[in-house]
Amino acid sequence: MSASARRHTPCSALTTLTGCPASLAAPARRRWLRTGALALAAAGMTFASVSGYAAETIKIGLVTALSGQSARAGDALTRGMTIAIDEINASGGVLGGRKLELVRRDDEGNPAKGVLAARELIYKDKVAVLFGGLDTPVSMAIVPIANQEKVPFMGPWAAGTPITRNGANPNYVFRVSAVDEIVDGAMVNYAQQTFGAKKLGLILVNNPWGESNEKGIVAALSAKGMKPAAVEKFEANDVDVTPQLGRLKAAGADTLLMVGNVGPSAQVVKSLDRMGWKVPIVSHWGPAGGRFTELAGPNAKTVHFVQTYSFFGATSPVSARVVAALKAKYPDIKGPDDITPAVGVANAYDAMRLTALAIDRAGSTNGDAIRAGFYKIDRYEGLIKTYVKPFSEQQHDALSAQDYVWAQFIDNRIVPVTAAGAKVAAK
């Protein structure tokens, strides 16, 4: 080929992706690069989209409290999901090589802000699956959007019974967490077996989460032929609940069943201190979500609360791997003591791994296909337990009462309750 012919030989559109031959003159290369770019643009593509098409990430959204009193719990959810995503991506991703990407939004524990965050993640960020969050009222506000938009909504913390049992058909809401209705029965049983409780007083936050638990506790007591000694409510921003506690004491309550997040639960303990009333407290897991020991003071250790997992005790290959990954990624984690609240990390880790399996079973990122993919999970050896067909059309909660453990704060660490711990709470 003559030099003249080579000068007039155009680069093909394909060649422009990697550059024209060096023998072409610079003006010709620029001209044909522009031509190739225009051709790709006409086809709705760019150089970046061509090179990155096969590696396009699948976005997973998380709406949770990332600030305020419960920020530590939101961080635990983030860490659990991140470790799971790192593992999944390192092993090849999902759907034949696509990586997962976590996108977070702060709901500040506020339902209205949670709804705005969920809408942004669904409509703007185009998440394939939405995770959230800590607070039952926030999750309850998001549920109708998830079902309407056919975006699977995975709950790794909020325990309100109606979150998953929401009446929608089809139902896009799944959960790897505690369920109020089951926790309530467990709280009653634990109070009776550990403290010999005969007259249980209820002290509950005045919101949908409190209402969900009041219904469940009353039903659990009724099944035993019992009634609450009294039921008292408090607001999330109350700084003194001695009037409510005074009425519970006057009603003869010998053990308190408590439902509330970090701040108000701490106020219950401090109010009891002011009254000088030493009464056992059996709690939902609200105190585990943040700075409970700092806010409640020395008697924080007397509160026994439910958890779905503890990193203390016998280890499994999965727990050893997760602890090692947490220590490697987060400098503040030196061992199990530092993984707090453990329930947030564990629930989020297992929920993310199960979600990845559902996406693979779906064969796509279509919301309805992923919903059906959850039902196709046969078995997964997780952190909390080995899951065997964890989800079905009738069952969207992967954990049961057999997966609960009881814990307390010792030196700002969440540890399983011991016989000594039970004696401390009973004094």
Query: Residue 84 sits in a domain of what CATH number?
Result: 3.40.50.2300
Q: Are residues 289 and 324 in the same domain?
A: no
Q: Are residues 196 and 292 in the same domain?
A: yes
Q: Assign 53 to helix, strand or coil.
A: helix
Q: Are residues 131 and 189 in the same domain?
A: no
Question: For residue 24, is it within any domain?
Answer: no
Q: Are residues 329 and 316 in the same domain?
A: yes
Q: Structurally, how many domains does the chain consist of?
A: 2
Question: For residue 382, is it within any domain?
Answer: yes
Question: For residue 84, is it within any domain?
Answer: yes
Read off the pLDDT of residues 247-288 as tens digits, 9 standing for 90 and up: 999 999 999 999 998 888 999 999 999 999 999 999 998 888
Question: For residue 318, is it within any domain?
Answer: yes
Question: For residue 214, is it within any domain?
Answer: yes
Question: For residue 236, is it within any domain?
Answer: yes
Residue 197 has a pLDDT of 97
Read off the pLDDT of residues 339-393 as tens digits, 9 standing for 90 and up: 988 899 999 999 999 999 999 999 999 999 999 999 999 999 999 999 999 999 9
Q: Are residues 355 and 389 in the same domain?
A: yes
Question: For residue 127, is it within any domain?
Answer: yes
pLDDT at 190 over 80: yes
Distances (CA, A) of 262 to 132, 133, 231, 266, 408: 18, 15, 20, 6, 14
Q: Are residues 207 and 324 in the same domain?
A: no
Q: Are residues 215 and 230 in the same domain?
A: yes
Q: What is the mean pLDDT of the chain?
A: 86
Read off the pLDDT of residues 294-351 as tens digits, 9 standing for 90 and up: 888 889 999 999 999 988 876 899 999 999 999 999 999 999 888 988 899 999 999 9
Q: Are residues 245 and 220 in the same domain?
A: yes
Please give the Cα distance from 191 to 10 (Å, whole number): 82
Question: For residue 99, is it within any domain?
Answer: yes
Q: Are residues 278 and 266 in the same domain?
A: yes
Identify the residue whose tokens are 């090692």. Answer: 324
Q: Is the Cβ–Cβ distance between 154 and 130 less than 8 Å? A: yes
pLDDT at 26 over 70: no
Residue ending a domain, among 259, 292, 307, is: 307
Q: Are residues 218 and 363 in the same domain?
A: no
pLDDT top residue among 49 and 256: 256
Residue 349 has a pLDDT of 98
Residue ending a domain, among 307, 337, 364, is: 307
Residue 55 has a pLDDT of 59
Per-residue burial over 396-406, b = 16 or more CB atoms within 10 Å of its CB, e = otherwise: bbbbeeebbbb
Please spell the DSSP secondary structure of 232-273, one letter per residue: EEE-TT-S--HHHHHHHHHTT-SEEEEE--HHHHHHHHHHHH
Please compute Rg for the chain using Cα positions.
26
Q: Is the Cβ–Cβ distance between 111 and 138 less than 8 Å? A: yes
Q: Are residues 187 and 256 in the same domain?
A: yes
Taking 3-state DSSP, the helix, strand and coil percentages for the chain, each rounded to the nearest 5, stand at 50, 15, 35
Structure pTM? 0.78
- Domain containing 397 equals 58-178+312-401
Q: What is the mean pLDDT of residues 218-232?
A: 97
Q: Are residues 276 and 196 in the same domain?
A: yes
Residue ending a domain, among 280, 307, 334, is: 307
